């Protein structure tokens, strides 16, 4: 085999490898396009309510979520402080990977144009994203919807309560609010509380 033929084969080999790489890149870009379209079409925060930024301050307990957050932690609580331009939040919970309580800080920055909140957690990037308050009475419950990293193709719903172990009557009242928002899910009322040491509910 002459030298020219070997060079031709080498060029063809390089071309074939480059073609495969280009096809792979095109496939990845197409996948990203479908992914972005899916996020934009399936996760939206159009139902964000206008809320009083001062009244949502204080301690909230995480009592329900969908998709569930409770495969990562239990006994979650959030201490929220408003500083005039946004919220400093401290999430404390018993995380299964550590086996003990841990705390993570986050910053919640309001978007004035649509009442949503940009949220960035320190150390918990899968909870980062945009959130909206769908409903709250400030004294009992607060219902959040989020478009977050851990569930990009659907909304992340979280229900916070002022008390760690709300009664069945209170949970039923919140269920009625969920019904009004067309977020019907009987597991909120029927499932055991996803916090420890609450006793029979």
pLDDT above 70 covers a percentage of the chain that reads: 65
Strands (E), 83-169: 87-95, 100-111, 116-121, 129-136, 141-148, 156-161
- Rounded mean pLDDT of 18-32? 45
Q: What does the domain layout of the chain look like in residue ranges?
A: 1-42, 58-190
- Rounded mean pLDDT of 154-163? 87
The values of phi and psi at residue 174, to 5°, are: -70, -35
Query: Any idea which of 105-114, 118-127, 152-161 has the lowest mean pLDDT?
Result: 152-161
Query: Any idea which of 57-61, 113-117, 133-137, 196-200 has the lowest mean pLDDT?
Result: 196-200
Contact 124, 154 (CB under 8 A): no
Residue 61: per-residue pLDDT? 92
* Burial readout 53-88 (b: 16 or more C-beta within 10 A, e: otherwise): eeebeeebbbbbbbeebbebbbbbbbebebeeebbe
Domain 58-190 architecture:
Beta Barrel (2.40)
């Amino acid at each position: 085999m002459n030298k020219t033929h070997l060079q031709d084969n080498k060029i063809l080999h390089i071309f074939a490898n480059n073609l495969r790489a280009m096809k792979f890149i095109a496939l990845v870009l197409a996948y990203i396009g479908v992914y972005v379209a899916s996020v934009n079409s399936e996760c939206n925060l159009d139902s964000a309510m206008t809320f009083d930024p001062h009244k949502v301050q204080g301690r909230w307990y995480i009592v329900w979520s969908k998709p569930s957050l409770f495969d990562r932690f239990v006994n979650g609580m959030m201490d929220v402080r408003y500083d005039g331009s946004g919220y400093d939040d401290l999430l404390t919970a018993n995380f299964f990977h550590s086996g003990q309580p841990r705390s993570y800080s986050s910053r919640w920055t309001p978007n004035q144009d649509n009442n949503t909140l940009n949220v960035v957690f320190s150390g918990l990037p899968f909870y980062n994203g945009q959130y909206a308050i769908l409903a709250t009475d400030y004294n009992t419950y607060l219902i959040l919807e989020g478009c977050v990293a851990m569930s990009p193709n659907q909304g992340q719903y979280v229900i916070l309560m002022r008390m760690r172990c709300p009664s069945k009557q209170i949970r039923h009242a919140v269920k009625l609010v969920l019904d009004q928002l067309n977020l019907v899910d009987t597991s909120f009322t029927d499932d055991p509380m996803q916090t420890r040491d609450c006793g029979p509910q």
